[in-house]
Amino acid sequence: MTYEIILDWLQASLRWSAPLIICAMGEIFAERSGIINMGIEGIMLCGALCGVAVSYYAQSQAVALFACAILGLVLGLIVAFLTVSRRTNQVVTGLMINLLAIGATNVIFSVLTVMRHKRATTFGALFPESMHRIPLVGPVLFAQPFTTWIAIFIAFIASFVLYKTRWGLNVRAVGDNPQATATAGLSVIKLKYQTLILSSIAASVAGGILTLASSGYFAAGGMTGGRGFIVLAAVVVGGWDPMRTMFACMLFGATDAAQLRLQTTESIIPTQFLQMLPYVITVVALTIMVKRSRVPKTWGAAYDGRRS
Amino acid sequence: MKKIITVLLSLAVMFSVFAGGAKEQVDMTGSVAMVLSGLKTDQAFNQYTYEGMLRAASEKGIKTAYKENVTDAEQVEVIRQLAQQGYEIIIGQGGQFGDSLATVAKEYPDTHFIFSVGKDTYGLPNMSAATVSYSEAGYLGGIMAAHSTKTGKVAMITGVFYANQAQMRDSFKKALHDVNPSIEFTAIETNDWSDTDKAYNATNALIAQGYDVLFPCLDAAGAGVAAATDDSKNKAVLVGSVADYAETYDCKSAMGSVTFNWEGLGYLEATGELTDGKSHVVGMAGNGISAIYNNLSSEGVAAVEKAKSDLSAGKINIPD
């Protein structure tokens, strides 16, 4: 039985971390270009509702994810307009987006009454069921929903784009020295718009995956439960590097999955402490890793093109 | 600029004077106001209690008002505003309203306040409390679960073990023990009432450990438990509480549910029957809870029916 519990924990850890990884990959690009997209928690929430609603009505997860991407694009444009064009405070703008998202999803969901009673179509496993029975790797890897594999694939793609392409180089340059980048003839504003839209699309799709890879239900009241903020921490812990950030997300997923399982043991540790575990680990990791990380030089600073 | 401000201020004063002079005396006899923590269209606790108030209004001709989505920070101000407007009964719908209701109740001794889904009247003569019986619900759920388990391992999932949930857990455990003392019991707190994904994963964690009957006491996140048991390939079944899981979440693996009659509670509160300064627990006798059977065996149904009559006859000792 213990072996099965460990396998289940490993499987849950990967499944849990998939939406975090996807969201984090987009956020890395935004932060590398100097903008902190604090609104990813709210955008993720909107994506969670959009994913379930479109999957329910269209009976297609692909269409649902496409709708999430479009929604992310629109929200990303709004965030980019405010933080890049209007140079509003990035933290305040993000918090505003998060608050608006809670209110908007509550109102929209109150109209979609049928979705409370019917489950949306969810993602199945990528590999056939016969492969799920292969010892160890079967349940841990092959029984994973399609989206877990997509998340890992996206992390590799993000790493390649960031370090091996001209666009990735431009993004890193903008985050470190936007004035020099502008002098070189690149449009700083355009690059910042692109990365913010990318991060919002990733957050929205991650929200869709959050619901469509498991329960197939949305619930009003902020069901993302702070995952967007965990992603913000994971990006810092991962040093704005896609692969390290992916492992930071997996660490959080594993800890959260572990605390649920530890609650059922005859442990003397209070439940409340176990529930704190993922956040304690995040804080500890932040404390250790921040000093070792190289922060984008204009991280969180508004760019004033007139000064270049 | 100064002139404009002076003119605007003068106009504001004039309007307020005329507005005061034109104020009509509205008859507020028997009027009821309900303060909700969520939306009145949430298809759950908030909506059903609100609908109970509307039924009372149509049957008894009561003047009603409501405020929805009231946050913790707004509670006192919203309740005070309703008391100032002269509503005779003010209902705080939810366990989080207790302190705020008590604060305003001290300021308005002629207004009746009802702390709904609570038991504390704060020793105030103009404050009553009313809730459904979580103990009876837990006991009936326990009987259903005990007759549904094959592995002898049963688990409860909740958001947080507040007083009501803890009472439900204790009576649930007692029922398990009364049917079969060897049944193993455990519980998980997800620390979130709306995260369906977390509820889904918590359920999977329990199923992997051999727990084959899940007893959720969650709000909307209960959908995650329903989805996980349906996905378990017959490894686990569910006994619902609060809502009818088979109907609400289309849960195929539901053996049965113990439902709360929130609409009935809202109706009772709005009619003024509970404004005696006491604490009321509405159980089976008051139609506060009901047992719904889906896939429960005939033996299990008979056991639940017996438990219901024993509870009504006072033969089973559970704290309420």
CA atoms within 13 A on the CB side of B287: 6
Amino acid at site B234: N
Say whether pLDDT at A308 is over 50.
no
Which residues lie across from B130 on neighbouring strands? B116, B280
Chain B, 246 to 285: residues with Cβ < 8 Å from chain A are 247-250
Residue whose structure tokens are 């590999």: A127
B26-132: what fold? Rossmann fold (3.40.50)
Chain A residues close to B227, C-beta within 8 Å: 119, 122, 214-217
Residue in chain B lying closest to A207 (CA):
B197
A40-58 vs A188-212: helix crossing angle, rounded to 10: 50
Helical spans, DSSP H, in A221-300: 227-237, 242-262, 271-290
Question: Residue B194's pLDDT is what?
Answer: 87
Domain B134-260 superfamily per CATH: Response regulator (3.40.50.2300)
Contact A117 B201 (CB under 8 A): no
Q: What are the domain boundaries of chain B?
A: 26-132, 134-260
Q: A138 near A11, Cβ under 8 Å?
A: no
Contact A12 B219 (CB under 8 A): no
**In this predicted model, what pLDDT tens digit does every residue of A171-214 receive, in sequence order?**
999 999 999 999 999 999 999 999 999 999 999 999 999 999 98
Classify residue B26 as exposed, middle or buried by CB count within 10 Å of its CB (0-12, 13-18, 19+).
Answer: exposed
Question: What is the end-to-end Cα distance of chain B in Å, rounded?
Answer: 66
Contact A220 B38 (CB under 8 A): yes
Question: Residue A186's pLDDT is what?
Answer: 92
Question: Residue A231's pLDDT is what?
Answer: 96
Residue A293 banded pLDDT, cuts 50, 70, 90 = confident
Tell me the pTM. Answer: 0.86
Say whether pLDDT at A283 is over 70.
yes
B26-132 and B134-260 in the same fold: yes
Nearest-CA distance from A69 to chain B in Å? 21
Say whether pLDDT at A14 is over 70.
yes
Q: Which of B194, B227, B250 sits opposite A220 (nearest CB)?
A: B194
Taken in order B193, B194, B198, B203, is the CA torsion positive or negative? positive
Element (DSSP H or E) covering residue A24: helix A2-32
Question: Residue B18's pLDDT is what?
Answer: 47
Chain B residues close to A129, C-beta within 8 Å: none
Distances (CA, A) of B106 to A128, B80, B125, B166, B223: 66, 11, 10, 30, 40
The SS3 of residue A61 is helix
Element (DSSP H or E) covering residue B217: strand B213-217
Contact B223 A106 (CB under 8 A): no
Helical spans, DSSP H, in chain B: 2-21, 45-60, 75-84, 98-107, 134-146, 163-179, 196-208, 222-230, 245-248, 262-271, 298-312
Contact A119 B204 (CB under 8 A): no
Q: What are the domain boundaries of chain A?
A: 2-224
What is the ipTM for the molecules in this complex?
0.89
Chain B residues close to A140, C-beta within 8 Å: none
**In this predicted model, what pLDDT tens digit does every residue of B134-166 receive, in sequence order?**
999 999 999 999 999 999 999 999 998 988 899
Chain B, 52 to 71: residues with Cβ < 8 Å from chain A are 69
**In this predicted model, what pLDDT tens digit does every residue of B90-122 receive, in sequence order?**
999 988 899 999 999 999 999 999 999 888 999
Contact A225 B201 (CB under 8 A): no
Contact A225 B195 (CB under 8 A): yes
